[in-house]
């Protein structure tokens, strides 16, 4: 329970001073100016008064027994000592602003350890260090235990950010559009109290309707996954992950001392937990504003109303680009539009009510679309044409929207003289944007949340796998950090029901005929050597071998190239299918990830690969397949034959179960897999499998 942190009864500010530029001073000022409901106690060895409040020399001198929270901004080395006193005083949480801990090297690590040890001895939890602080704008507490500057005002979006600069940015932009926030924290080093604990607390807060988060690295991905997954079925989490590029992630690691490239991992975690990911801060804030005031849409069909053509087209383009569909009106809807709109209005989607439309035209158009069964959300575009009564329009838009559960966003094109219109609409709980694209993106993000929230959750399917057979092979490699031979790797796949062609390994010329009996013709000859990683690049794969003569020739060629001491693998040649890749990668703290993509240039050039956390249920595998950009290539785009998608999902589930059963599989590449039309399971024709 983090009530002591986010709803403290009294707050002590250790390191408060008269210097208006000091952290302690600013924290006192913020607590007082934003109306903290409890008492604030500045602590300063010199005593005196700070901002007209009596300061105490030690927290032990304060005549109050309900100091749940202290903010500490004294020099790092003094922190453990002060915590001893806080312990005696019964303090529950300490926000440590001071820097100079883990991020500065071994000495800092030791100091941090000592600080946490002291705190825990007294049952105190540490928030930070090197952190900004927390806020809770709930009027019941109104606590601003943070040294920053954005004015605090109640709202229903809670913010959790690793970096203070980013957290402030989120808060600032809510403020700039006249909105407040609920809880806020920027958590810094996470030496004790963790991000997932705070997230879980936000999740349980009734006043929080949407959560925005920013992270640079995940200290405990598994804990985050569990906390987030418990929240997203009832409230949205919107997330932005810093360091998506290799260059960016370098900046991250030098910034916080965490050393991981966690891009794919974050993507996989967000997918599993039902978190809505963003790459653009502005887009995330705008989506959060929509989610904090509107219900998620029941489907993806948008209705657009405009009084000017161009922005309507922008709205359509962006909506379609974001995966929304244009709603079609029922006969009844069409009739109502005809009855209520000008003759020159165009009544398709978008409905162009034309620039002379007044408040009643808007009201009728909005009410009509919101009542349409096949419309899941509405965007209203309004350019403040000089011949319209904008105040009356604001009132009628409010009246038309407040009776519906469907989400509405309003896009207003106007200039400063008319900004009261925007204020009126916001006061009516409507998200207001400047550009049609912003509105479309916000609605699309809400739709993505609806899909995540409502997705089918299933247990792992009960598939037959032979754990013992796989174990018997993997046992021989465990602890060696090496690749399995292809034959062994294929045998592991087969134990888990992942299909591959018939094959036989051999290591002397005499083995050739026996292998041919097993593989049959046409067949494929491959070199089997730990030193040859990309076999075909080095002439280690011969395809289309039709008979024994050709096989002998292929063998002679390879023997000349690699020597007769090498081992070889002879495989049945699988019929050409759609080339896919799947893989397993071990990730720190989260277990294994399953990767999936289209083979060839799709993966090499376009890097179109999606990741998911193992093990996968069938719906999760399905989602993974659909997550790649080139999904339509599999589902029969442009008259191509679709592949057997359920069979593909089952194969990915099998791969994921194998990965989860054997965490020592640190790397596995099935490249390529051939997928076939309906009725045929996919076949892995090449595998690389590394066991640690």
CB of 581 to Mg ion, least distance (A): 9
User: HSE (CB half, 13 Å, CA atoms) of 71?
Assistant: 33
Nearer CB in complex with Mg ion: 644/686: 686
Residue 536 interface partner, choices Mg ion, ligand ADP, none, CB cut-off 5-8 Å depending on type: ligand ADP
CB of 278 to ligand ADP, least distance (A): 36
285 binds ligand ADP (CB under 6 A): no
Residue 524 interface partner, choices Mg ion, ligand ADP, none, CB cut-off 5-8 Å depending on type: ligand ADP
CB of 688 to Mg ion, least distance (A): 8
Alpha carbons 340 and 672: distance in angstroms, whole number? 60
Nearer CB in complex with Mg ion: 77/533: 533
CB of 483 to ligand ADP, least distance (A): 12
Alpha carbons 491 and 477: distance in angstroms, whole number? 14
Contact status, residue 157 vs residue 292, Cβ threshold 8 Å: yes
CB of 519 to ligand ADP, least distance (A): 9
Q: State whether the Cα torsion 449-455-457-461 is positive or negative.
A: negative
528 binds ligand ADP (CB under 6 A): no
Region near ligand ADP per CB under 6 A, out of 332-340, 411-419, 531-539, 627-635: 531-539
Among residues 669, 690, 648, 664, the alpha carbon closest in space to that of 499 is found at 648
Contact status, residue 232 vs residue 225, Cβ threshold 8 Å: no
Spell out a b/e string for 215-233, using b for 16 or more CB atoms within 10 Å of the CB, else e.
Answer: bbbbbbbebbbebbbebbe
Residue 560 interface partner, choices ligand ADP, Mg ion, none, CB cut-off 5-8 Å depending on type: none
Dihedral angle at the C-alpha atoms of 107, 113, 116, 117, nearest 10 degrees? -130
Tokens of 270: 């967000």
Alpha carbons 168 and 476: distance in angstroms, whole number? 53
Nearer CB in complex with ligand ADP: 573/617: 573
Nearer CB in complex with Mg ion: 273/489: 489
Instruction: Kindly tell me which residue out of 281, 295, 552, 573 binds ligand ADP, with binding defined by CB under 6 A.
Output: 573
Nearer CB in complex with ligand ADP: 329/674: 674
CB of 529 to ligand ADP, least distance (A): 11
Could you say which residues in the range 533-562 bind ligand ADP, by CB under 6 A? 534-536, 541, 543
Binding mask 483-502 for ligand ADP (x = CB under 6 A): ------------------x-
526 binds ligand ADP (CB under 6 A): yes
DSSP secondary structure letters along 133-192:
EEEE--TTT-EEEE---SPP-B-SEEEEESSHHHHHHHHHHHHHTT--BSEEEE-TT-SS
**What residue has token string 């105040």?**
391
Residue 617 interface partner, choices ligand ADP, Mg ion, none, CB cut-off 5-8 Å depending on type: none
Region near ligand ADP per CB under 6 A, out of 86-94, 460-468, 491-499, 570-578: 570-578
Alpha carbons 585 and 267: distance in angstroms, whole number? 14
CB of 528 to ligand ADP, least distance (A): 11
Could you say which residues in the range 262-281 bind ligand ADP, by CB under 6 A? none
CB of 685 to Mg ion, least distance (A): 8
Nearer CB in complex with ligand ADP: 234/534: 534
Residue 15 interface partner, choices ligand ADP, Mg ion, none, CB cut-off 5-8 Å depending on type: none
Residue 501 interface partner, choices ligand ADP, Mg ion, none, CB cut-off 5-8 Å depending on type: ligand ADP
CB of 541 to Mg ion, least distance (A): 8
CB of 550 to ligand ADP, least distance (A): 15
Nearer CB in complex with ligand ADP: 285/684: 684
Contact status, residue 187 vs residue 319, Cβ threshold 8 Å: no
Alpha carbons 610 and 583: distance in angstroms, whole number? 10
Phi then psi dihedrals of residue 257, to 5 deg: 80, 5
672 binds ligand ADP (CB under 6 A): yes
Nearer CB in complex with Mg ion: 464/534: 534
Contact status, residue 542 vs residue 525, Cβ threshold 8 Å: yes
Burial class (CB in 10 A: 0-12, 13-18, 19+), 476: exposed
Contact status, residue 308 vs residue 381, Cβ threshold 8 Å: yes
Nearer CB in complex with ligand ADP: 665/683: 683
Tokens of 574: 């699988």
Instruction: Kindly tell me which residue out of 470, 542, 571, 612 binds ligand ADP, with binding defined by CB under 6 A.
Output: 571
Tokens of 205: 């807060």
Taking 3-state DSSP, the helix, strand and coil percentages for the chain, each rounded to the nearest 5, stand at 40, 20, 40
604 binds ligand ADP (CB under 6 A): no
CB of 561 to Mg ion, least distance (A): 18
Alpha carbons 569 and 575: distance in angstroms, whole number? 18
| Position of minimal CB gap to Mg ion | 686
Q: Using only C-alpha atoms, what is the Rg of the chain?
A: 31
Alpha carbons 121 and 192: distance in angstroms, whole number? 13
The residues of the shown chain that bind Mg ion, judged by CB under 5 A, are 671, 686
Nearer CB in complex with ligand ADP: 281/573: 573
Residue 426 interface partner, choices Mg ion, ligand ADP, none, CB cut-off 5-8 Å depending on type: none
CB of 579 to Mg ion, least distance (A): 10
Give how many residues touch ligand ADP by CB under 6 A.
15
Residue 534 interface partner, choices Mg ion, ligand ADP, none, CB cut-off 5-8 Å depending on type: ligand ADP
Region near ligand ADP per CB under 6 A, out of 20-28, 314-322, 383-391, 566-574: 566-574
Contact status, residue 571 vs residue 685, Cβ threshold 8 Å: yes
Q: State whether the Cα torsion 136-141-145-149 is positive or negative.
A: positive
- Which residues, 6+ apart, have CB-to-CB distance to 569 below 8 Å? 486, 487, 503, 504, 505, 525, 526, 527, 528
For the chain, how many helices (H) and strands (E)?
Answer: 24, 31
CB of 641 to ligand ADP, least distance (A): 18
Residue 685 interface partner, choices ligand ADP, Mg ion, none, CB cut-off 5-8 Å depending on type: ligand ADP
Instruction: Kindly tell me which residue out of 267, 337, 686, 691 binds ligand ADP, with binding defined by CB under 6 A.
Output: 686
Structural element, H or E, at residue 541 = strand 541-545
Region near ligand ADP per CB under 6 A, out of 145-153, 172-180, 569-577, 646-654: 569-577
Contact status, residue 99 vs residue 116, Cβ threshold 8 Å: no
CB of 493 to ligand ADP, least distance (A): 13
Q: How many CB atoms lie within 10 A of CB 345?
A: 18
CB of 575 to ligand ADP, least distance (A): 8
Binding-site ranges for ligand ADP (CB under 6 A): 501, 524, 526, 534-536, 541, 543, 571, 573-574, 671-672, 685-686
């Amino acid at each position: 329970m983090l009530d002591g942190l986010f709803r403290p009864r009294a707050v002590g500010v250790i390191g408060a001073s008269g210097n208006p530029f000091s952290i302690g001073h600013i924290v006192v000022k913020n607590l007082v100016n934003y109306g903290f409901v409890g008492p604030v106690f500045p602590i300063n060895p010199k005593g005196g008064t700070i901002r007209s409040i009596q300061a105490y020399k030690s927290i032990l001198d304060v005549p109050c027994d309900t100091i749940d929270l202290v903010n500490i901004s004294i020099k790092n080395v003094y922190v453990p000592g002060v915590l001893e006193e806080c312990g005696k005083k019964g303090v529950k949480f300490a926000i440590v602003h001071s820097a100079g801990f883990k991020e500065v090297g071994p000495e800092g690590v030791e100091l941090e350890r000592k600080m946490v040890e002291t705190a825990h001895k007294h049952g105190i939890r540490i928030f930070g260090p090197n952190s900004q602080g927390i806020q809770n704008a709930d009027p019941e507490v109104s606590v601003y235990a943070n040294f920053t500057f954005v004015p605090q005002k109640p709202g229903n979006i809670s913010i959790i950010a690793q970096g203070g600069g980013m957290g402030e940015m989120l808060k600032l932009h809510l403020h700039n559009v006249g909105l407040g926030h609920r809880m806020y924290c920027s958590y810094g080093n996470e030496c004790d109290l963790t991000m997932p604990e705070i997230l879980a607390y936000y999740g349980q807060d009734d006043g929080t309707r949407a959560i925005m988060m920013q992270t640079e690295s995940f200290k405990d991905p598994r804990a985050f996954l569990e906390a987030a997954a418990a929240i997203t079925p009832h409230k949205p989490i919107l997330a932005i992950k810093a360091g998506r590029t290799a260059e960016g992630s370098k900046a991250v690691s030098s910034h916080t001392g965490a050393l991981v490239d966690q891009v794919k991992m974050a993507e996989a975690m967000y997918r599993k937990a039902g978190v809505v990911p963003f790459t653009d801060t502005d887009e995330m804030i705008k989506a959060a504003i929509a989610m904090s005031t509107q219900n998620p849409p029941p489907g993806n069909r948008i209705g657009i109303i405009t009084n000017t053509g161009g922005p309507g087209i922008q709205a359509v383009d962006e909506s379609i680009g974001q995966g929304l569909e244009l709603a079609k009106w029922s006969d009844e809807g069409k009739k109502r539009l005809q009855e209520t709109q000008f003759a020159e209005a165009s009544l398709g989607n978008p409905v162009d009510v034309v620039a002379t439309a007044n408040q009643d035209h808007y009201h009728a158009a909005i009410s009509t679309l919101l009542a349409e069964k096949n419309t899941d959300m509405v965007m209203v575009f309004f350019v403040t044409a000089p011949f319209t009564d904008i105040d009356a329009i604001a009132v009628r838009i409010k009246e038309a929207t407040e009776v519906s559960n469907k989400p509405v966003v309003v896009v207003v094109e106007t200039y400063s003289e008319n900004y009261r219109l925007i204020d009126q609409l916001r006061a009516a709980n409507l998200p207001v944007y400047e550009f049609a694209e912003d509105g479309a993106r916000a609605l699309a993000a809400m739709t993505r949340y609806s899909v995540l929230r409502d997705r089918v959750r299933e247990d792992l399917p009960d598939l037959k796998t032979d754990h013992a057979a796989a174990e018997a092979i993997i046992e021989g490699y465990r602890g060696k950090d090496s690749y399995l031979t292809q034959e062994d790797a294929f045998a592991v796949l087969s134990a888990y029901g992942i299909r591959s062609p018939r094959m036989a390994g051999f290591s002397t010329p005499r083995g050739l005929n026996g292998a041919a009996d097993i593989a049959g013709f046409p067949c494929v000859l491959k070199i089997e050597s730990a030193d040859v990683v990309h076999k075909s690049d080095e002439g280690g794969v011969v395809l289309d071998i039709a008979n024994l003569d050709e096989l002998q020739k292929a063998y002679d060629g390879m023997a000349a190239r690699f020597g007769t001491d090498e081992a070889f693998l002879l495989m049945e040649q699988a019929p050409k299918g759609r080339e896919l890749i799947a893989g397993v990668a071990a990730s720190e703290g989260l277990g294994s990830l399953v990767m999936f993509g289209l083979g060839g240039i799709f993966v090499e050039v376009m890097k179109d690969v999606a990741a998911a956390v193992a093990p996968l249920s069938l719906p999760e595998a399905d989602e993974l397949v659909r997550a790649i950009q080139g999904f339509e290539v599999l589902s029969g785009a442009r008259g191509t034959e679709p592949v057997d998608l359920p069979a593909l999902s089952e194969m990915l589930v099998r791969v994921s179960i194998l990965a989860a059963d054997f965490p020592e599989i640190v790397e596995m590449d099935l490249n390529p897999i051939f997928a076939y039309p309906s009725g045929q399971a996919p076949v892995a024709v090449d595998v690389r499998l590394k066991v640690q």
